[in-house]
A and B are shown apart, each in its own frame.
Chain A
């Protein structure tokens, strides 16, 4: 059961009538009586005169060995006709060809280890082929009830995975500035739906429309903008001049270490911007810090505990005595968190925070610092 070239199926030719001496060639067919999912194992067992259970076990084992079993099973599902006389003959329509093509590409991708598009694409292709096949199996009324149930569940899982992939792709696309394009595609799907309504219905367009619209909406709601640097960055300004311009990132984790900073009296603004991720600001103990944080979806903690939610706009007002050195943090996060404090839990990374401490932040000193009585 390897990638032999698929046998050309002869759609509507039953076993030809031959003279009595020769046996009619026995064709491999999928069994419609003994079928769990598609009758493949039953048919093969019948053809080889082997207990179908053994065939099934073989398939399962081979599936664990690199997915070959699954692949072989799917191949049989496509190419081996069922023996149900009432089923329509094997037709090579567009759908079947497409399914076979997808499967072939997927097989290649799995067997060729360094497919340069990365592991996701062949996986998605396989998923697509599996979905197609399962839909076909479910549509035919052969097969047992349990098999159809299992097929439906599998379809559901695969669709969810596909949708998740689509969602991520759309979100990334949108957040990267292609939001207008994604919205355009959504509108195009809608137009296609309307047009297709007059030509027998094109309901399948609903799926891509929703799959694209949802992440686009999420991105729009949170004003997510991940253009910019991606990754983890730590900024350690040594002087006020350095932090004058603020820090901006696309996605990842931003740490601003201000322990070495000497703040002048009066208010110093620090602007921090990240599309998706986390902003942590570590301030010296006896420095007055006030915060203005806008978060699309996430958490803000400026020393008074976690405040989470959607569309957060937290202004941490503290009474600041005149003349006190005040650091005013202005943070903007699409999806993520803003944490401002003088202590953080230790982070096990080179060059990261080494403070062993609590996650909770000490606010007493900071407020006192603001009042000028620290």
Chain B
């Protein structure tokens, strides 16, 4: 809707996109740890998770409400 100020203009929903990327990254990190390729210690994992959640919140907050809903 024009006049929103931060309407997602492009043809995709930025919040979903960025959140998806962040989730994929996090999931891969965890997968590698579970498969014993990497070894994640708690002191690296906590910042990773916090950053992921923070990034998702940021992306959703910046993108505004989803398009097409009233």
**A interface with B by C-beta (< 8 Å):** 174, 179-180, 182-184, 186-187, 189-198, 200-203, 205-206, 209-210, 213-214, 216-217, 220-222, 296-297, 310-311
Contacts and interface: CB of A to CB of B under 8 A. Distances in A.
How would you classify the secondary structure of chain A's contact residues: helix, strand, loop or mixed? Answer: helix
A186 B26 contact: yes
A215 B12 CA distance: 30
A238 B36 CA distance: 38
A193 B17 contact: yes
Contacts of A310: 42-43
B66 A297 contact: no
Contact of A297 (B13, B40, B42): B42
Q: What 3 A-B pairs come out closest when comparing CB atoms?
A: A193-B20, A201-B13, A190-B23
A194 B40 contact: no
A35 B35 CA distance: 55
Contacts of A190: 19-27
A213 B49 contact: yes
B48 A217 contact: yes
B19 A183 contact: no
12 contacts: A179-B34, A180-B31, A182-B30, A189-B23, A190-B23, A193-B19, A195-B20, A198-B11, A203-B15, A210-B23, A216-B34, A220-B45
Contact of A203 (B13, B35, B43, B53): B13
Contact of A200 (B13, B31, B34, B35): B13
Contacts of B30: 179, 182-183, 186, 213, 216-217, 220
Interface residues of B, number: 37
Given A200-B66, A210-B53, A214-B49, A311 B17 contact: no
How would you classify the secondary structure of chain B's contact residues: helix, strand, loop or mixed? Answer: helix
Given A193-B19, A210-B53, 8 more contacts: A183-B30, A183-B34, A184-B27, A187-B24, A197-B17, A205-B16, A205-B23, A206-B23
Interface of B: 11-17, 19-28, 30-31, 33-35, 40-43, 45-46, 48-49, 52-53, 56, 60, 66-68
A206 to B, nearest CB: 5
Nearest to B17: A197
A192 B53 CA distance: 17
B6 to A, nearest CB: 14
Nearest to B43: A311
Given A194-B17, A200-B13, A221 B23 contact: no
Nearest to A180: B34
A222 to B, nearest CB: 7
B37 to A, nearest CB: 11
Nearest to B41: A311
A81 B46 CA distance: 48
Contacts of B28: 183, 187
Contact of A296 (B15, B24, B42, B52): B42
Given A201-B66, A213-B26, A194 B53 contact: no
A195 to B, nearest CB: 8
A186 B27 contact: yes
A183 B31 contact: yes
B42 A221 contact: yes
A296 B43 CA distance: 11
Contacts of B26: 186, 190, 213, 217
Nearest to B68: A200
B60 A203 contact: yes
Given A183-B34, A203-B19, A197 B43 contact: no
